[in-house]
Amino acid sequence: MVAAIELYLDVDTTRRVRNLWRALDAEGIPSLGSLHQKHRPHLSLAAAHRIDPHAVAEALSGFQVARPLPLSIDFVGQFVGRVLWLGVTVTEDLLSHHRAVHDRLSAAGVEIWDHYRPGRWVPHCTISLRVPNPVMAPAVRRCLEYLPLQATITGAAVADHANDISHPL
């Protein structure tokens, strides 16, 4: 199970990513959209097996987590385990926002996975968690057809879909 602090994308970008999910599903390539209907296209700032949404809300009180950050989504990537994602071009503004969130979480004792910490984080929008190896190349090609995307952050929440948690921030 995974819980995350998710940044949500503007309406147009959300529509485009959902269209990509549907295109992959139609080709027999499992997307995040077909995993269950709870996922929204997003950028995760932090993740762990469990995250207490009330502790996060308290740690981030008075801080604008969902400030309207502009994002450029320009490339496709893959993590070990056949996880396919759209890459967000790193900017100083995005990195400083990420660090500010983590400084507050750390000060409050909110534990997160190391690979989401500043200096290790790869900003991305997940497309699929388990692309079968024989269809990875077609999946990447399909993703490239949807790029580039210009997005804006419009919302944030602590999400733990396995436990039906979606706590807006």
DSSP state of 32: H
Q: How many CB atoms lie within 10 A of CB 54?
A: 9
Is 130 part of any domain? no
Measured distance CA(140)–CA(77) in Å, rounded: 8
pLDDT band at 110 (very low <50, low <70, confident <90, very high): very high
Amino acid at 30: P
Q: What is the 3-state secondary structure (H, E, C) of 15-29?
A: HHHHHHHHHHHHCCC
Q: Is residue 163 part of a domain?
A: yes
Range of the structural domain that residue 162 is part of = 3-72+90-125+149-168
Q: Is residue 78 part of a domain?
A: no
Nearest to 90 by CA among 65, 103, 72, 104: 72
Name the token pair of 6.
């998710």
pLDDT in tens, 51-104: 999 999 999 999 999 999 999 999 999 999 999 999 999 999 999 999 999 999
Q: How big is the chain by its Cα radius of gyration, in Å?
A: 15
Handedness of CA 18, 22, 23, 25 (dihedral sign): positive
Residue 41 lies in a domain: yes
77 lies in some domain = no
User: Has residue 134 been placed in a domain?
Assistant: no
Number of domains in the chain: 1
